[in-house]
Amino acid sequence: MELRRVVVTGLGALTPVGNTAKESWDNLVAGKSGAAPITLFDASVCKTQFACEVKGFDPTPLLDRKEARKLDRFSQMAVWVSKEAIEDSKLDLEAENKERLGVVWASGMGGLGTLEENLFDYGRRGGAPLFNPFFIPKVIISMGAGHISLMFGLKGPSFAVTTACSSSSHAISQACDLIRLGKADVIVSGGSDANITIGGIGGFNAMHAISTRNDSPETASRPFSKSRDGFVMGEGAACLILEEYEHAKARGAHIYAELVGTGMTSDAYHMTAPDPSGDGAMRVMRLAIEDANIRPEDIDFVNTHGTSTPLGDIAELNAIKNVFGEHAYEMNIDSTKSMTGHMLGATGAVEAMVCVMALHDGIVPPTINHDPEDVDENIDYRLNFTFDKAQKRDIRYALSNTFGFGGHNATLIFKKHEA
């Protein structure tokens, strides 16, 4: 069968560098860091006392206070960015067949904050089981998708995807397939995570996975530098309105870009560490390129997973060189996690938005915090890492990688839309 085309017609974002998609994109292009000391809880007992928090987020303009208390922070973020994206798309929901409109949403850890809050209260009460009546629906990962469907009356497919740090890329991939196969006309897709909690920070500290550079939070996320000592925890959300091309064209929608290729693989190597050979990463990029029906040389920009971990950065770069050969030196390569930190289940959606806007505006945002003297002998610095400053470029195809604990790999490829 002939697969239907899928385009992006709306964007929404809530990130450590901006409370809208436009503000986030402008600050990423400007090279702004979202890292600062933690304010969401008392982190003085933690080895890491900073993170990339969303600043000044208040859901009450959208949800009244009583309703907001029924949602965990990750679900509040989900409905917030979905509203922005739907409004940006200019979809007339009342005129649409809502049975053809769906939601595929992602979260890596769901309502971790709610879980901790209720368990701490349980302990303080000496074991009295006085849990919040909304405890279970606030914690469940699928409630991000559920609340979006409820708020906007979307009656098509609605479900959640969770694959650790690659969750929202997998969600977008699944949403794309639903539209391609004719099972929906429009899908609200993306992800949200809110894990800057005592358990989130303390747990990753115990794994030695996150940076402890408390003296300089804003420079702690330093992908591709020798002195990198782990990722910086982030939080946030992003939403893409994915729409069937003819449906979008018929209503005169503004098209940001086209989603042309997706890939999914597993390392089957280790619970948390990447396969040092880069096998899973190589295979997932090749699958996405094949799915897009293009050549490796057609890719102009790669937004890497680029977490700023000692093992992960090297494995991904080696995979890129193996997939692209000499063309690897012609592409722009960046890591926007140098500014946003790692938003876990939301990161794929935020970085998909980055690729879409890079195609739309012809700009590659920078990788910040690299000192040219801070070189890792295992990294080939002939690659175009887009260090320090954004670069203008006419981009035809942009590729986004996300890799998650458990060996989950996902790649998305977006194409510039020619009006």
Active site residues: 165, 305, 342
Task: Determine contact, residues 172/412, Cβ cutoff 8 Å.
Answer: yes
Contacts 24+ apart (CB under 8 A), 25-31: 25/353, 25/354, 25/357, 25/361, 27/339, 28/336, 28/339, 28/340, 28/354, 28/365, 29/363, 29/365, 29/366, 29/390, 30/390, 31/339, 31/365, 31/366, 31/368, 31/388, 31/389, 31/390
64 CB burial (10 A radius; 0-12, 13-18, 19+): exposed
Q: Which two tokens stand for residue 176?
A: 């794309």
- Coarse DSSP helix, strand, coil percentages of the chain, rounded to the nearest 5 percent: 35, 20, 40
Task: Determine contact, residues 219/33, Cβ cutoff 8 Å.
Answer: yes
**How far apart, in Å, do the first and last CA atoms of the chain sit?**
26
Reduced to 3 states (helix: H, G, I; strand: E, B; else coil), residue 399 is strand
